[in-house]
C-alpha cells in the first residue's frame, strides 16, 4: 500500500507534463496539415471553374505547371478521326495532282437540298445614310474606260459602273505603299457577339446608326449561338440595310490591299488564339496596310484599335497563316452603284464558282507542300463542295480528319456536312453533328443537317423535330425554314 501511495504524485506529473509539445501546438499542426490538404484540393477547382481564361493564362505564364489543371480539350482537341483506309487515302492523295478542267462533278444525290441562308427577305425599315462613293486611289475621274495593268492587279479591263455623281472611275494601276480607311469607330463586342459587332462597325462607314444589339437580334436571337456565318452576315446586309455585301473564299493579302486602297470596307473571318483559349474563329474589319512595315491593320471588336489607334497590326505572313484556317474568306460591304467596279477589282474572285476554283488551286499547292496540313485539305473540300464535286470533296475532308483538324472547325464551316450528305454518308453526318452538339447545344446547323439525314431516311417526325429545334435557336435560319416547309408538304 505504501508503494502505491508513493507513485501517485509521479503519475499526476506525467499527465500534466508528458514531455511533448503543448496540446495547442499539436492541434495547430494538425489543423495546418488539413488546410494544406484542403487547399491543394481547392486549387484545381478554383483554377478550372472560378478563374476566367485570361486569369488562367496569367497564372500559367508565371507557373507553367498549372497548365496540367486545365480541363481536357473536348475530343482530344480534334474532329472525330477516321480509321486507316489505304484505298480512301490514295483517292485523297490523287487530288494533289487533279486538274479541275476536264473532270466531271459528282452527281448530287440530294435533289431537295435547301440552299444556304441567303434568300431575299422583306426590306428593312431602318436604312443607313450612304456616303458618296469615294474616289479610287491614285485615279482621277475619267469619262472613258481605262485598261488595268495585269502585272499589278491581275484583272482584265472592264467598263466600270458610274457612281452617284454619274462619273466613271479608273482602277488604280499601282497601289500606294500604304493606305487607310477613315471614319470608322470601334465597336467593342459584348459577350459572344463578334459577328454582329464587326458588321455593325463595318456598316458605320456608310452612316449606319443601329448598334450591335440590333444586328444580334436578327443574326443570333439565341445569345449562346457560337457562330454567325459569312452568308448570314451578307444576308443581313442585303435585306436589312441600304447597302450591299458579298462573301467569297480564296482571298489574299494583295486583294485586301486593293480593296482597302479603293475604299471598300472588308471583313475577314480568321482564327485566333486568345488568352487561355485554344483555336477559335473570329471576325476582323480590315481597314489599313503598310508595305514598309509589311503589316495589315484591323479594328478588332475584342482587341480594340491597336497601340496608336490606327488598328491592331498583323504581319502579312502571320495574317495569311491564320486566315488560311477559314479558306481566306472575306466579306465586302459596298454601295450598289459601285458593284461593277468591285467585280473588276475581285477579278478571279468575282463569282462564287471562280473564287472556289482559285481557292482550290491555292489549297492544292499548300497540301502538296505539306501533306499533313489539315487546313489545306479542309479548304480543298470546301472549294470542291461549292463546285458540286461532292465525292472529291468528301475525300479531301477525310484527309483533313486524318491530320487533326481542330474540334471547333464545324462550329463555323459546314461544307463537310454537305459533302458527306450528298454522297450518302449519313452516319458521318450524324456523328459529326452529335460531336458538335456535345460541345455546344445551341448549334442550329447541326440540328438542320441531322434533320436532313432523318428526312431522307424517311424518319419524318424526327426530321421535323430537328428543324423545329434549329428554328427555335434561330427563327431566321432560311435553310431550316425551307426544309421544314418542304417536309410538311411531302
User: Average pLDDT in the 352-374 region?
Assistant: 97
pLDDT at 357: 97
Cβ atoms 128, 208 nearer than 8 A: yes
CA 65, 70, 72, 76 torsion: positive or negative? Answer: negative
pLDDT at 134: 41
Nearby residues of 214 by Cβ (< 8 Å), 6 or more positions away: 126, 200
Q: What are the backbone dihedrals phi and psi of residue 236, each rounded to the nearest 5 degrees, phi first? A: -60, -50
What number of residues does the chain have?
490
Distance, in Å, from the CA atom of 111 to the CA atom of 107, rounded to the nearest integer, reads 10
Provide the whole-model pTM.
Answer: 0.76
Q: How confident is the model over 171-202, as pLDDT tens digits?
A: 445 899 999 998 899 999 998 899 999 999 99
The SS3 of residue 120 is coil
Radius of gyration of the chain (CA): 30
Cβ atoms 182, 204 nearer than 8 A: no
Cell of 424: 450518302
Q: How confident is the model over 414-427, as pLDDT tens digits?
A: 999 999 999 999 99
Q: How confident is the model over 19-42, as pLDDT tens digits?
A: 556 777 777 777 777 777 776 777
Cα 207 from chain centroid (whole Å): 26
pLDDT at 103: 59
Distance, in Å, from the CA atom of 50 to the CA atom of 105, rounded to the nearest integer, reads 52
* Strand-pair partners of 402: none
Q: Assess whether pLDDT exceeds 90 at residue 118.
A: no
Q: Considering only 49-53, 73-77, 119-123, which range has the smallest mean pLDDT?
A: 119-123
* Strand-pair partners of 312: 298
Angle 353-356-359 from CA coordinates, rounded to 5°:
155
Q: Assess whether pLDDT exceeds 90 at residue 57.
A: no
Q: How confident is the model over 463-476, as pLDDT tens digits?
A: 999 999 999 999 99
Which domains occur in the chain, in start order?
26-71 (no CATH), 141-350 (3.90.70.10)
Q: Is 401 exposed, middle or buried (0-12, 13-18, 19+ CB in 10 A)?
A: buried
Angle 374-380-381 from CA coordinates, rounded to 5°:
90
Cell of 192: 459572344
CA 240, 244, 247, 252 torsion: positive or negative? Answer: negative
Q: Position of cell 484545381? A: 44
Angle 413-326-358 from CA coordinates, rounded to 5°:
105
pLDDT at 92: 82
Distance, in Å, from the CA atom of 171 to the CA atom of 258, rounded to the nearest integer, reads 9
Helix (H) or strand (E) holding 298: strand 295-299
Q: What percent of the chain has pLDDT over 90?
A: 58
Nearest of 329, 318, 319, 394 to residue 359 by alpha carbon: 329
The SS3 of residue 314 is strand
Cell of 111: 435533289
pLDDT at 145: 28
Cβ atoms 196, 219 nearer than 8 A: yes
DSSP-derived secondary structure for 36-68: HHHHHHHHHHIIIIIS-HHHHHHHHHH-GGGGG
Nearest of 210, 324, 330, 327 to residue 265 by alpha carbon: 330
Confidence at 154, pLDDT banded by 50, 70, 90: very low
Q: Position of cell 489543423? A: 31
Q: How confident is the model over 388-399, as pLDDT tens digits?
A: 999 999 999 999
DSSP-derived secondary structure for 125-159: S----PPPPPPPTT--EESS--PPPHHHH-----P
Q: Position of cell 488546410? A: 35
Distance, in Å, from the CA atom of 411 to the CA atom of 421, rounded to the nearest integer, reads 17
Cell of 333: 460591304
pLDDT at 173: 56
- Helix axis angle, 390-402 to 86-94, nearest 10°: 110
Helix (H) or strand (E) holding 297: strand 295-299
Distance, in Å, from the CA atom of 204 to the CA atom of 243, rounded to the nearest integer, reads 11
Q: Assess whether pLDDT exceeds 50 at residue 127.
A: no
Distance, in Å, from the CA atom of 474 to the CA atom of 447, rounded to the nearest integer, reads 11
pLDDT at 149: 26
Amino acid at each position: 500500500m505504501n508503494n502505491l501511495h508513493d507513485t501517485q504524485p509521479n503519475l499526476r506529473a506525467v499527465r500534466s507534463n508528458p514531455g511533448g509539445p503543448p496540446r495547442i501546438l499539436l492541434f495547430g499542426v494538425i489543423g495546418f496539415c488539413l488546410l494544406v490538404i484542403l487547399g491543394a484540393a481547392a486549387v484545381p477547382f478554383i483554377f478550372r471553374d472560378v478563374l476566367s481564361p485570361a486569369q488562367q493564362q496569367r497564372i500559367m505564364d508565371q507557373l507553367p505547371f498549372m497548365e496540367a489543371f486545365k480541363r481536357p480539350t473536348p475530343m482530344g482537341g480534334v474532329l472525330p478521326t477516321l480509321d486507316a483506309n489505304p484505298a480512301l487515302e490514295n483517292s485523297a492523295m490523287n487530288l494533289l495532282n487533279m486538274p479541275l478542267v476536264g473532270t466531271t462533278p459528282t452527281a448530287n444525290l440530294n435533289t431537295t437540298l435547301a440552299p444556304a441562308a441567303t434568300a431575299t427577305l422583306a426590306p428593312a425599315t431602318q436604312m443607313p445614310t450612304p456616303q458618296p462613293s469615294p474616289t479610287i486611289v491614285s485615279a482621277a475621274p475619267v469619262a472613258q474606260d481605262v485598261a488595268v495593268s495585269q502585272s499589278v492587279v491581275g484583272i482584265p479591263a472592264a467598263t466600270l459602273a458610274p457612281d452617284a455623281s454619274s462619273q466613271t472611275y479608273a482602277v488604280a494601276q499601282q497601289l500606294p505603299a500604304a493606305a487607310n480607311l477613315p471614319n470608322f469607330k470601334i465597336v467593342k463586342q459584348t459577350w459572344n457577339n463578334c459577328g454582329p459587332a464587326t458588321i455593325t462597325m463595318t456598316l458605320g462607314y456608310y452612316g449606319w446608326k443601329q448598334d450591335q444589339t440590333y444586328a444580334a437580334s436578327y443574326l443570333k436571337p439565341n445569345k449562346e449561338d457560337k457562330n454567325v456565318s459569312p452568308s448570314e452576315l451578307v444576308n443581313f446586309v442585303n435585306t436589312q440595310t441600304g447597302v450591299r455585301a458579298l462573301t467569297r473564299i480564296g482571298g489574299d493579302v494583295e486583294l485586301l490591299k486593293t480593296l482597302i486602297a479603293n475604299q471598300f470596307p472588308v471583313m475577314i473571318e480568321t482564327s485566333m488564339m486568345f488568352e487561355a483559349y485554344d483555336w477559335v474563329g473570329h471576325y476582323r474589319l480590315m481597314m489599313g496596310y503598310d508595305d514598309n512595315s509589311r503589316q495589315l491593320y484591323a479594328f478588332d471588336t475584342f482587341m480594340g484599335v491597336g497601340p496608336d489607334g490606327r488598328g491592331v497590326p498583323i504581319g502579312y505572313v502571320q495574317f495569311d497563316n491564320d486566315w488560311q484556317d477559314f479558306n481566306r474568306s472575306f466579306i465586302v460591304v459596298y454601295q450598289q452603284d459601285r458593284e461593277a467596279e468591285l467585280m473588276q477589282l475581285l477579278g478571279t474572285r468575282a463569282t462564287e464558282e471562280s473564287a472556289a476554283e482559285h481557292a482550290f488551286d491555292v489549297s492544292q499547292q499548300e497540301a502538296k507542300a505539306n501533306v499533313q496540313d489539315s487546313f489545306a485539305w479542309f479548304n480543298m473540300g470546301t472549294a470542291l463542295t461549292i463546285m458540286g464535286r461532292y465525292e472529291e470533296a468528301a475525300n479531301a475532308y477525310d484527309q483533313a480528319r486524318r491530320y487533326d483538324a481542330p474540334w471547333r472547325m464545324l462550329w463555323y464551316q459546314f461544307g463537310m456536312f454537305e459533302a458527306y450528305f450528298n454522297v450518302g454518308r449519313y452516319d458521318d453526318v450524324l456523328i459529326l453533328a452529335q460531336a458538335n452538339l456535345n460541345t455546344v447545344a445551341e448549334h442550329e446547323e447541326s440540328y438542320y443537317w441531322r434533320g436532313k439525314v432523318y428526312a431522307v431516311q424517311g424518319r419524318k417526325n424526327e426530321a421535323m423535330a430537328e428543324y423545329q429545334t434549329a428554328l427555335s435557336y434561330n427563327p431566321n435560319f432560311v435553310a431550316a425554314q425551307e426544309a421544314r416547309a418542304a417536309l410538311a408538304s411531302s
